[in-house]
């Protein structure tokens, strides 16, 4: 064997040895996972990421407002010292349609007209607040309340059941007979929804590019809609409580690239970017005394659901817990809740109790 051949063979064996060393290091020394925000390295395997969890524990303050015939239809938390509710409040001193919490007490107020029942509220700032009557938007501009009579504007729609927007130049109103009305800061325009189902809940992405709507009828029909590029798409339509696979859609909440729909029997997570859906059957999560009414999602590990019977249901990324504090306070079948608001570590549940005897609002503080 010549010297050159010996040299080549020696180098070949050296190269094989180096590759074997690197191969061995790669296969026997896994690297710790680089986890995204909201996740951490799993305790039993630091090469994979586990979701962070949030606390299930809330302490509650429960208030009754008004007398017989009083109810709260919507609530919004700005912060723990600034909470608004709207509806109808009967008192010895007269009738009111709104109330404000300043961190210490509730003040009854009259928006536009004390005797006009209100259904929804959407708060941008102290000088930019939208509410709705049974069918019409009403705006506070810092100086006065202005009612926009849609019929007088040529719009044959009753859109008072839900409000959502990114600003007062991009805001939506939904309501009866599939009504969707958009306001661009100048004009109100009705958007054909393709349905006559009553629309009840609305939410969208922070940039306003995607908007989602949940609608339902007491007879069992329900619908999920998406607005994108000025087009309305029907994502799901059911004709009964147990329609597969999502059941009776009751509420919608949007976070990042996912729309979270709550129904009588399931939590439906729909990623509208990847078009991927996940369904968690309700009976596998919790059993409740009432049907789901609202859902609010702060993060994938912080999802809140409210039932019409006053139950507060919380998902922390790993487990579900049912909090029956409100039901225990008033007694079973004695409270009817209509609205849910969540802001950081605070929750508000609102409706009425005691056979219509009082409006009710429960404030939960996470521990």
Q: Is 307 exposed, middle or buried (0-12, 13-18, 19+ CB in 10 A)?
A: buried
pLDDT band, very low/low/confident/very high, at 15 (cuts 50, 70, 90): very low
Token representation of residue 28: 């026997």
In the predicted model, is pLDDT for residue 230 greater than 70? yes
pLDDT tens per residue across span 127-152: 999 999 988 999 999 999 999 999 99
Average pLDDT over residues 238-267: 89
Round to whole Å and give the CA distance between 114 and 96: 5
| Alpha-carbon distances of 164 from 23, 59, 120, rounded to whole Å | 56, 29, 10
Beta-sheet strands, E only, within 188-243: 188-190, 199-204, 210-216, 222-228, 231-238
Average pLDDT over residues 108-125: 96
Average pLDDT over residues 167-178: 98
Round to whole Å and give the CA distance between 281 and 287: 11
Closest by CA position to 361, among listed 96, 64, 118, 49: 64
Task: Tell me what the pLDDT averaged over the chain comes to.
Answer: 89
Share of the chain above pLDDT 90, in %: 72
pLDDT tens per residue across span 61-107: 999 999 999 999 999 999 999 999 999 999 999 999 999 999 999 99
pLDDT of residue 238: 92
In the predicted model, is pLDDT for residue 21 greater than 80? no
Helix (H, G, I), strand (E, B) or coil at 37: coil
pLDDT band, very low/low/confident/very high, at 223 (cuts 50, 70, 90): very high
For residue 194, what is the DSSP state? S
Round to whole Å and give the CA distance between 355 and 255: 36
Round to whole Å and give the CA distance between 353 and 332: 11
For 57-366, CATH number out of 1.20.1290.10, 3.30.1330.10, 2.130.10.10, 3.30.70.1290 equals: 2.130.10.10
Average pLDDT over residues 4-17: 36
Distance of CA 216 to the CA centre of its chain: 16
Q: What predicted TM-score, i.e. pTM, was given to this entire model?
A: 0.87
Average pLDDT over residues 326-331: 94
The set of residues, in sequence order, having a beta carbon less than 8 Å from that of 299 and lying 6+ positions away, is: 38, 54, 255
pLDDT of residue 272: 96
In the predicted model, is pLDDT for residue 300 greater than 70? yes
Length of the chain: 367
Average pLDDT over residues 207-223: 95
Contact between residue 32 and residue 45 where contact means Cβ atoms under 8 Å apart = no
Cis before 245 (ω within 30) = yes
Instruction: Tell me the domain boundaries of the chain.
Output: 3-49, 57-366
pLDDT of residue 38: 79
Token representation of residue 310: 């006053």
């Amino acid at each position: 064997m010549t010297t050159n051949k010996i040299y080549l063979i020696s180098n070949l064996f050296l190269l094989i040895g180096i590759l074997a060393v690197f191969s061995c290091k790669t296969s026997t020394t896994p690297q710790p996972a680089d986890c995204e925000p909201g996740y951490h390295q799993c305790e039993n395997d630091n090469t994979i990421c586990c979701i962070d969890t949030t606390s299930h524990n809330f302490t509650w303050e429960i208030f009754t407002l008004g007398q017989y015939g009083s109810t709260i239809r919507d609530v919004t938390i700005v912060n723990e010292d600034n909470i608004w509710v709207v509806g109808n409040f009967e008192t010895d001193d007269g009738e009111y349609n709104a109330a404000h919490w300043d961190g210490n007490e509730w003040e009854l107020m009259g928006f536009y007209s004390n005797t006009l029942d209100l259904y929804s509220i959407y708060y941008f700032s102290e000088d930019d607040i939208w509410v709705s009557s049974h069918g019409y938007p009403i705006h506070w501009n810092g100086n006065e309340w202005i009612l926009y009579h849609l019929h007088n504007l040529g719009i044959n729609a009753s859109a008072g059941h839900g409000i959502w927007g990114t600003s007062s130049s991009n805001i939506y109103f939904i309501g009866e007979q599939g009504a969707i009305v958009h306001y661009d800061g100048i004009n109100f325009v009705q958007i054909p929804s393709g349905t006559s189902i009553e629309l009840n809940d609305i939410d969208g992405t922070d940039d306003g590019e995607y908007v989602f709507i949940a609608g339902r009828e007491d007879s069992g029909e329900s619908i999920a809609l998406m607005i994108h590029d000025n087009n309305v798409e029907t994502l799901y339509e059911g004709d009964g409580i147990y329609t597969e696979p999502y059941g009776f859609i009751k509420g919608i909440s949007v976070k990042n690239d996912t729309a979270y729909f709550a129904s009588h029997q399931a939590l439906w997570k729909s990623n509208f970017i990847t078009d991927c859906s996940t369904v968690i059957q309700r009976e596998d999560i919790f059993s409740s005394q009432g049907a789901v009414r609202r859902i609010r999602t702060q993060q994938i590990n912080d999802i809140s659901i409210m039932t019409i019977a006053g139950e507060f249901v919380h998902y922390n990324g790993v487990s579900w817990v049912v909090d029956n504090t409100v039901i225990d306070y008033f007694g079973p079948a004695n409270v009817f809740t209509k609205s849910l608001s969540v802001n950081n570590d605070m929750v508000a549940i609102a409706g009425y109790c005691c056979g219509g005897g009082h409006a009710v609002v429960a404030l939960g503080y996470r521990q």
